[in-house]
Amino acid sequence: MTKFLIETKGLIKQFKDFVPVRNLDLQVKKGEVYGFLGPNGAGKTTTIRMLLGLIKPTAGEVYIFGKPLAQNRIEILKKVGSMVESPSYYGHLTGFENLEVTGKLLGLEPGEIDRVLEIVRLTEWKDKQVRKYSLGMKQRLGIAQALLGRPELLILDEPTNGLDPAGIHEIRDLIISLPRQMNMTVLVSSHILSEIELVADRVGIIHMGKLLFQGGLQELRERSKARLRIDAQPLLEAGNYLLHEGYHVEKEETSLYIDAAAANAAKVNRKLVENGYEVSHISEDKKSLEDIFLRLTEEAKSL
Ligand SMILES: Nc1ncnc2c1ncn2[C@@H]1O[C@H](COP(=O)(O)OP(=O)(O)OP(=O)(O)O)[C@@H](O)[C@H]1O
Ligand SMILES: [Mg+2]
């Protein structure tokens, strides 16, 4: 048994001489929205396919609901809803009919199709052929399909791909509401941190098949302490002066960076000016989450 709803141990996928997933230890807690983040080609879809038993890991294990997937595939997957990459449909059938096709396999309760159509707000469009749907509507239908049969775990691979800002917003609100309304755990992948930031309780950042970070967003933010950026003349002497004053000083291009919070800016400024340095700029240099994400993935690239 494991205390996680999804846990992978040393998960590896190798295609011939290429290894898109390297030793992944994912840990998703029950009832959370877990953001699975990584740039294009990072290995997100490959990992998700292994979580859904669509492809076999080369090595390592997947545990879902505390049980090994390899030995309990059917029992586990009955309780998992998913949408991987772009969903595919029968264009000549209506939205309702498409869900009926999937539903037949699941043996649904009456009213279930209307229920999921309502959740993704497609009720009005349910009798229209899917080939007349917009991209956003197709995406929503894919989510409706994933929600059929009230799964305990929902896995969505880039559900906002190709959507306009309004569509992204809508899907985001939907994802946030699911754990509360339906007692569901959600794993959602994306290559855009700002999209995940608003929905996820915790994130896993994957790059070149490796997990670079796993934890809360707050923890990720704390990885980048605030610094003060100072432009002063003469630069090197000002840097030496600050060093003598006990600050940790770094020089990047034409600025100095010291480990100090914005609250100290006035004090630092005064000290510099009083000692004959000319200060032309002083500001807080707080990294946005996006910067942290980029930095993490850039660093990994250069290893
Ligand atoms: N069947 C396969 N055979 C060989 N290589 C593959 C196969 N499937 C995926 N890959 C490679 O594995 C790497 C990871 O792909 P994957 O689709 O998992 O990335 P991703 O993180 O989902 O990217 P994206 O954000 O573009 O969807 C890519 O370089 C891809 O070309
Ligand atoms: Mg993908």
pLDDT band at 301 (very low <50, low <70, confident <90, very high): low
Say whether both 206 and 243 belong to one domain: no
Atom 28 of ligand 1, residue of closest alpha carbon? 41
CA distances from 299 to 53, 207, 286 (A): 32, 10, 18
Say whether both 191 and 107 belong to one domain: yes
Terminal CA-CA length for the chain: 35
d(CA 69, CA 62) in angstroms, rounded, equals 6
How far apart are the CA of 42 and the centre of ligand 2, in A?
8
Residue 172 carries which side chain, given as an amino acid letter? R
Ligand 1, pocket-test mutation among 46, 190, 191, most atoms within 8 A of CB: 46
How far apart are the CA of 218 and the centre of ligand 1, in A?
29
> Looking up tokens 């990294």, which residue turns up?
287
DSSP state of 131: G
Atom 6 of ligand 1, residue of closest alpha carbon? 15
With respect to residue 159, please indicate whether it lies within any of the assigned structural domains. Answer: yes
Task: Give the pLDDT score at 291.
Answer: 76
Q: How many alpha carbons lie under 13 Å from residue 74 in its C-beta half-sphere?
A: 2
Atom 29 of ligand 1, residue of closest alpha carbon? 41
Say whether both 217 and 273 belong to one domain: no
pLDDT band at 276 (very low <50, low <70, confident <90, very high): very high
CB 15 less than 6 A from any atom of ligand 1: yes
Say whether both 22 and 51 belong to one domain: yes
Say whether both 57 and 191 belong to one domain: yes
Residue 5, pLDDT above cutoff 90: yes
The overall longest dimension of the chain from CA atoms, in Å, is 80
Range with the lowest mean pLDDT among 55-69, 168-182, 217-231? 217-231
CB 287 less than 6 A from any atom of ligand 1: no
Say whether both 258 and 146 belong to one domain: no
pLDDT band at 76 (very low <50, low <70, confident <90, very high): very high
With respect to residue 168, please indicate whether it lies within any of the assigned structural domains. Answer: yes
Task: Give the pLDDT score at 136.
Answer: 86
Q: How many alpha carbons lie under 13 Å from residue 86 in its C-beta half-sphere?
A: 9
Residue 273, pLDDT above cutoff 60: yes
The overall average pLDDT reported for the chain is: 90
How far apart are the CA of 274 and the centre of ligand 2, in A?
56
Q: Please state the atom number of ligand 1 nearest to the C-alpha of residue 44.
A: 21
Task: Give the pLDDT score at 240.
Answer: 96
Domain extent, residue 151, equals: 6-222
CA distances from 97 to 13, 129, 164, 209, 272 (A): 36, 9, 26, 38, 72
Range with the lowest mean pLDDT among 8-22, 132-146, 213-227? 213-227
- Angle at CA of residue 136, ends 131 and 140, nearest 5°: 90
Overall number of domains in the chain? 2
CB 41 less than 6 A from any atom of ligand 1: yes
Residue 194, pLDDT above cutoff 80: yes
Q: Please state the atom number of ligand 1 nearest to the C-alpha of residue 13.
A: 12
| pLDDT tens profile 111-131 | 999 999 998 889 999 999 999
d(CA 163, CA 171) in angstroms, rounded, equals 9
In order, the DSSP letters of 230-279 are EEEESHHHHHHHHHHTT--EEEETTEEEES--GGGHHHHHHHHHHTTPEE
